[in-house]
């Protein structure tokens, strides 16, 4: 893969929040490729690498990483401002698993050799990562995963398969949870491995989703031999690290921006369909608008927790449930408002802003991924309300 | 607001909340509440006097008017505690009158607890219009006011009408007060005025009514928060099929959904109170208040209904407490505007959803 020379960023923490926001906003507006705004589907590396490289050259690729590792070392509050500005402009996600997951993991738990080898390659866009967690029989019950690694000299031999691996077809490295002790309690026999995708025995098969996109893949491992030096943390200690990585995901999945984007499109659609002034539509639209406003108020209380440097509790699961179900409810409404246009495969009239069926399908997996909403409700019941059993 | 200022504010709200614990306790039995139910005047004048001594009806009044000049955040915190305690004393309506009368001796009489003056503003169901058809010109009041909470205990009424505000003594000639019991054990008064002597006072009730709507949303928050906590406790202790019923996933998920509603209501009420304290004005201010009241009314009723369901048969008895919370929510949900009224107003104001 082509790569760039990353730039060591200047420290922006001294700016006031408002000045920082303006700085970020102006740079995004000047540099973000207009054709990539609010893409209807998750972009592949071939499409988003131009933006990845721009961020790398600017030194803004890794806002959360410490400065000594090439990150921006931004305070939590400023990181959130940055995300807000990306969302405001409709900036697409890049292939960001290296930035969001592998980097922080290695900074916390990796060896010096691992940090020296991997971090610069993430910053340069040379290593593109994917995440090998779920398996055909280990979805919500992730800890029951069975892909196995057996020690052989200085190597591991891996056999098994992973599924729902986002953009595995773009990646040249994968981080894996594998079973290394079949006799231990299920959470205690799991190890965290880093594996090059070009190792013999690895096969990737894209999964076509219901919105006809190959965002997810299956990855098969057939006697895959990799060096043990790319084990992260201690053998059989992978579960704790993996769980910690999932923690902060929920505050992002719970941001109202996706719902707000959908609601704005609902309004566009209602205007186009000539129903925006119907009392029935106004009532439904107002209910959704109020839901978003209250979600924003609740989300802000969690942002404040992060801003104060406190740990997020398990109650952050609420945000994920509210946001994703609201997103779905809005797109459900779009299907009704669109009338026969709901049947169309492509956006109406070639207008990306009139894409009811596309948004409806995109909203479907949000209640499944990132811990299904049923799992989130289990977390709320058991870890927040402390209900028994 | 800076982080430090906002921390100071949180501390002020915490202090005021703690100070409520004596008169409006969040825990413990509800014997006092039960004893006052369905008896006139529906509340305890001695407790009301103590609430006045604590300065509760004067929270929002300027210091020169004998108040403590605190914000909506503090007022909502007290109103929430009063709701959680199911305290029947008419804090919100008396505050509304005191707010409109601020700076007059009448307000002082309310703040000391010496006289209870309640606003009589409503003439039709389901409205926020304070004007109506009542006239008070020439020192004579004529008209009919309805839905006056805890009117049975009032000494006088602050009557709104076409000609502005006027005070009407309860015992004056031409004044007829009838009361009907409400589900929470209190009462609604209907005030008929036929050439009743009245004293015009300046000002109007519009702003005080908006604050009453938000404070009522906060009371509903207190109601749902406490009944939900009781329900979660019950799920942990009630055993059926050999285990606590809270171990069943169907009930766990319902409890999680109710937790979400309580949390959204809290975020809604508290963020709107903070926005008002930060100077939100105009249509955005009204829209914000409508957002909080619509949420609290809908969620308050939902949480109370589900509290009954999750308590099973015992929840349907008068002996068990969840019913007291449901019946309080039945009174508060449509007071100062129903969820539908506030949603409609929000839609009409057509402000950006970032209003507050």
Give the pLDDT band (50/70/90) at residue B356: very low
As given in the structure block, the two tokens for residue A161 are 């398969």
The residues of A annotated with a catalytic role in the active site are 249
Tell me what the mean pLDDT of segment A174-186 comes to.
96
B243 touching A (Cβ < 8 Å): yes
In this predicted structure, the answer to whether residue B248 has a pLDDT above a threshold of 80 is: yes
Task: Based on DSSP, count helices (H) and strands (E) in chain A, helices before strands.
Answer: 13, 8
Chain A residue at shortest CA distance from B252: A381
Supply the CATH classification number for the domain A129-236.
Answer: 2.40.110.10
Across B342-347, average pLDDT: 96
CB contact under 8 Å between B259 and A384, yes or no, is: yes
DSSP strands (E only) in chain A: 129-132, 148-152, 155-166, 173-179, 190-196, 202-207, 216-227, 231-232
Cα dist from A160 to A166, A190, A223, whole Å: 17, 14, 9
Cα A243 → chain centroid: 15
> Token match 């000639």: residue?
B173
Domain ranges in chain B with CATH number 2.40.110.10: 117-201
Q: Which CATH architecture has domain B3-93+108-112?
A: Orthogonal Bundle (1.10)
- B84-100 mean pLDDT: 98
CA distance A146 to A343: 41
Mean pLDDT of A265-292: 96
Q: What is the pLDDT averaged over residues B247-262?
A: 98
Phi and psi at B165, nearest 5°, equal -100, 150
Is residue B4 very low, low, confident or very high in pLDDT (cuts 50, 70, 90)?
A: low
pLDDT confidence of residue B313: 92
The pair of structure tokens assigned to A220 is 């098969």
DSSP codes, A258-319: HHHHHHHHHHHHHHHHT-TT-HHHHHHHHHHHHHHHHHHHHHHHHHHHHHTTPPP-GGGHHH
With contacts defined as CB-CB under 8 Å, which chain B residues touch A295? Answer: 264
Angle at B256 between CA B250 and CA B260, to 5 degrees: 145
Spell out which residues of chain B touch residue A263, defining contact as CB-CB under 8 Å. Answer: 353
Which residue, among B353, B354, B355, B356, would best test binding to A if mutated, counting the most A CBs under 10 Å from its CB?
Answer: B353
Q: How confident is the model at residue A39 (pLDDT cuts 50, 70, 90)?
A: confident
Please report the pLDDT score of residue B319 as a whole number: 94
Render pLDDT for A112-134 as a digit per residue (tens, 0 to 9): 999 999 999 999 999 999 999 99
B222 touches chain A (CB under 8 A): no
Q: Does B232 contact A at CB distance below 8 Å?
A: yes
**Is the per-residue pLDDT at B193 higher than 80?**
yes
What band does A369 get if pLDDT is binned at 50, 70 and 90? confident
pLDDT at residue B5 in the model: 65
CATH 1.20.140.10 domain span(s) along chain A: 248-384
For CATH 2.40.110.10, the residue range(s) in chain A are 129-236
* Cα–Cα dist A139/A130, whole Å: 17
pLDDT at residue number B175: 98
Could you tell me if B346 lies within 8 Å of chain A, comparing CB atoms?
yes
Count contacts between A and B (CB, < 8 Å). 107
Distance from CA of A298 to the nearest CA of B (A): 5
Residue of A nearest to B7 (CA): A308
CATH class label, B117-201? mainly beta
- For chain B, give every residue range classified as CATH 1.10.540.10: 3-93+108-112
Question: Is B270 within 8 Å of chain A by CB?
Answer: yes
- Describe the crossing of helices B249-277 and A279-307 by its angle, rounded to 10 degrees: 80
Q: For residues B213 and B211, what is the distance between their CA atoms, to the nearest angstrom?
A: 5
- This prediction has a pTM of 0.88
* Chain A residues in contact with B249 (beta carbon < 8 A): 378, 381
Write out pLDDT tens, residues B297-330.
999 999 999 999 999 999 999 999 999 999 999 9
**Tokens 């005047």, located at residue:** B41
In contact, B80 and B91? CB cutoff 8 Å: no
- How are strands ordered across the β-sheet holding B164-169? B117-120, B156-161, B164-169, B199-201
How many C-beta atoms lie closer than 10 Å to residue B318's C-beta?
10
- C-alpha to C-alpha distance for A191 and A187, rounded to whole angstroms: 10
CA angle A267/A325/B310 to nearest 5° reads 130
Does domain A248-384 fall into CATH 3.10.350.10? no
Q: Among A192-196, A350-354, B237-241, B343-347, whose mean pLDDT is lowest?
A: A350-354
What's the mean pLDDT when you consider all of chain A? Answer: 92
Do residues B276 and B288 make contact, with C-beta atoms less than 8 angstroms apart? yes
Helix (H, G, I), strand (E, B) or coil at B187: strand
Chain A nearest-CA distance from B217, in A, is: 14
| pLDDT score, position A5 | 81
The structural architecture, per CATH, of the domain B206-349 is Up-down Bundle (1.20)
B31 touching A (Cβ < 8 Å): no
DSSP state of B336: T
């Amino acid at each position: 893969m082509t790569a760039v020379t990353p730039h060591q960023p200047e420290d922006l923490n001294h700016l006031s929040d408002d000045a920082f926001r303006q700085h970020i906003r102006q740079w995004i507006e000047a540099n973000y490729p207009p054709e990539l705004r609010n893409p209807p589907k998750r972009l592949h590396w071939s499409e988003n690498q131009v933006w990845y490289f721009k961020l790398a050259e600017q030194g803004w690729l890794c806002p959360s990483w410490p400065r000594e590792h090439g990150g921006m070392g931004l305070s939590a509050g400023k990181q959130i401002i940055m995300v807000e500005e990306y969302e405001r402009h409709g900036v697409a996600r890049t292939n960001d698993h290296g930035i969001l997951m592998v980097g922080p993991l290695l900074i916390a738990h990796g060896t010096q050799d691992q940090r020296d080898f991997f971090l610069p390659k993430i910053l340069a866009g040379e290593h593109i990562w994917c995440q090998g967690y779920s398996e055909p029989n280990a979805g919500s019950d992730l800890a029951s995963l069975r892909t196995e690694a057996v020690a052989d000299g200085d190597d591991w031999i891996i056999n098994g398969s992973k599924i729902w691996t986002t953009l595995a077809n773009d990646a040249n490295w994968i981080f894996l949870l594998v079973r290394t002790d079949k006799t231990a309690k299920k959470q205690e026999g799991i190890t965290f491995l880093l594996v090059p995708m070009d190792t013999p025995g690895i096969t990737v098969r894209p999964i076509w989703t219901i919105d006809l996109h190959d965002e997810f893949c299956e990855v098969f491992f057939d006697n895959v031999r990799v060096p043990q030096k790319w084990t992260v943390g201690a053998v059989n200690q992978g579960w704790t690290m993996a769980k910690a990585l999932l923690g902060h995901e929920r505050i992002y999945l719970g941001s109202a921006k996706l719902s707000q984007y959908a609601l704005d499109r609902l309004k566009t659609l209602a205007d186009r369909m000539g129903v925006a002034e119907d009392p029935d539509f106004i009532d439904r639209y107002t209910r959704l608008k109020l839901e978003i406003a209250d979600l924003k108020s609740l989300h802000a209380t969690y942002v404040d927790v992060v801003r104060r440097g406190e740990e997020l509790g398990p109650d952050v699961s609420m945000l994920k449930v509210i946001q994703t179900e609201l997103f779905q409810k809005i797109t459900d409404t779009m299907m009704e408002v669109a009338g026969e246009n709901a049947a169309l495969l492509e956006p109406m009239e070639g207008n990306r802003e009139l894409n009811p069926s596309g948004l409806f399908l995109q909203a479907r997996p949000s209640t499944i991924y990132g811990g299904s909403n049923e799992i989130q409700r289990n977390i709320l019941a058991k870890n927040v309300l402390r209900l028994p059993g | 607001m800076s982080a430090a200022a906002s921390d100071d504010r949180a501390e002020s709200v915490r202090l005021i909340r703690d100070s409520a614990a004596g008169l409006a306790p969040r825990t413990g039995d509800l014997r006092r509440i039960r004893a006052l139910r369905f008896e006139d005047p529906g509340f305890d004048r001695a407790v009301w006097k103590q609430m006045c001594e604590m300065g509760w009806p004067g929270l929002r009044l300027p210091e020169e008017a004998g108040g403590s000049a605190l914000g909506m955040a503090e007022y909502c915190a007290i109103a929430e505690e009063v709701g959680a305690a199911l305290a029947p004393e008419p804090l919100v309506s008396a505050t509304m009158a005191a707010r409109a009368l601020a700076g007059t001796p009448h307000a002082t009489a309310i703040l000391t607890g010496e006289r209870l003056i309640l606003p009589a503003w409503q003439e039709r169901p389901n409205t926020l219009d304070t004007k109506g058809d009542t006239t008070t010109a020439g020192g004579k009041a004529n008209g009919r006011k309805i839905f006056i909470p805890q009117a049975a205990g009032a000494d006088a009424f602050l009557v709104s009408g076409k000609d502005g505000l006027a005070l009407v003594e309860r015992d004056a000639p031409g004044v007829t007060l009838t009361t009907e019991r409400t589900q929470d054990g209190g009462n609604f008064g209907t005030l008929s005025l036929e050439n009743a002597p009245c004293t015009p006072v300046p000002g109007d009730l519009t702003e005080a009514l908006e604050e009453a709507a938000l404070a009522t949303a906060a009371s509903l928050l207190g109601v749902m928060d406490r009944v939900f906590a009781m329900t979660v406790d019950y799920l942990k202790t009630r055993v059926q099929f050999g285990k606590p019923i809270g171990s069943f996933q169907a009930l766990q998920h319902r409890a999680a959904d109710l937790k979400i509603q309580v949390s959204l209501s809290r975020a809604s009420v508290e963020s709107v109170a903070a926005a008002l304290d930060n100077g939100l004005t105009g249509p955005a201010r009204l829209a914000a208040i409508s957002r909080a009241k619509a949420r609290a009314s809908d969620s308050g009723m939902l949480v109370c209904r589900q509290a009954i369901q999750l308590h099973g048969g015992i929840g349907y008895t008068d002996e068990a407490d969840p019913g007291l919370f449901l019946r309080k929510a039945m009174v508060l949900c449509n007071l100062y505007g129903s969820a539908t009224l506030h949603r409609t107003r929000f839609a009409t104001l057509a402000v950006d959803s970032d209003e507050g």
